[in-house]
Amino acid sequence: MTTAARSLRDSRFQGWPAYTLQQDDLVLQVVPSVGGRLMGMALAGQELCFTHPDLRGKSFDGDLRQWDALCAGWSFPLWGGGKTWIAPQSAWPDDAPHRDLDSLAWTVLSQWCDAQSMGIEVQSPVCAITGLQLSRRLVLPADAQAWSIEHTVRNTGTRPLRCGLWDVLMLLRPGDVKVMLTAEGSYPGERVVALPGKKACAQLQAQGTLHTEGDVAQIHCHSGDEFKCGFASLDGRVQVDFAQWGLRYQRHSATDPKAMYAHGLPVEVFNAPTLDYFEVETHSPLHTLQAGQTATYTIYESVMAV
């Protein structure tokens, strides 16, 4: 089923081949050729995802001679959009996301647009280092401005691997992030923490960037002030307000206060020091995957006018 107000079509986005999912004034852009990313997310014509201006339309074909130029002085290309990483970061090779999963082209397994929903499922190549393979299945129900992304990791190797699924979404600044926390007393540790090597929470509070009141934490991502905080989030509930555009992005996912997470807590917010973006990041619990085993984790997202 395809109408002018509701369609899934081949297109181009920021120079990349893309699959455009449109439902009324919501437009989602999936770019399989760069790590299977949700590269664009717009409502009423206003784009919310950050994409690196110097990398738009570019891709990595596995030729390492082009790698340094794509990284532009960083340890990996900051393509933009939303992607799936393997956690923990401490296990990354050469302090960079697994290259085969993050930057190579993914395969489109299926796409559909019918009376109930539209969507697309994409699958990564097998990581040459870990033997892991990822897939992302995006489903947008009919007549909704909310969608889900089911992340799956499969261990194609011969030895057990302990890892977590890690959804990372790069958004345009400025934005005000609100994280709903587990009730005070129900979590044994600090509910808001600074990640190692990043600006302390006390310093962020003193400068007015971070506020915690009751079971809600708010953090303002307005300028190039680098920080990264983790949150003991209730059901992974995160709200981002873009006041200048009158838009709100929301996400949630299942969390378990008793589970082990790769970085300690299930939700993180990172603010970039130079490029004009911040990140909303959500983790699955850690899994020990035996050979041939899979794990799945689903994020639910929406955009609305406020």
pLDDT band at 188; cut points 50, 70, 90:
confident
| pLDDT, tens digit, 9 for 90 and up, residues 37-58 | 999 999 999 999 999 999 999 9
Q: pTM of the prediction? A: 0.97
CB atoms within 10 A of CB 302: 17
pLDDT of residue 158: 96
pLDDT of residue 184: 86
Mean pLDDT of the chain: 96
What whole-number distance in Å separates Cα of residue 302 and Cα of residue 239?
10
Q: Backbone phi, then psi, for 8, in 5-degree steps? A: -130, 120
DSSP-based three-state secondary structure for 100: helix
What whole-number distance in Å separates Cα of residue 221 and Cα of residue 21?
28
Kindly tell me if the per-residue pLDDT of 2 is higher than 50.
no
Residue of 251, 186, 181 lying closest to 218 (CA atoms): 181
Identify the burial level of 60 via C-beta atoms within 10 angstroms of its C-beta, where 0-12 means exposed, 13-18 middle and 19 or more buried.
Answer: buried
pLDDT band at 258; cut points 50, 70, 90:
confident
**pLDDT above 70: percentage of residues in the chain:** 99
Residue 240 and residue 303 in contact, taking contact as beta carbons nearer than 8 Å? no
Kindly tell me if the per-residue pLDDT of 167 is higher than 80.
yes
Query: Computed from CA positions of residues 223, 228, 229, 233, in that sequence, does the dihedral angle turn out positive or negative?
Result: positive
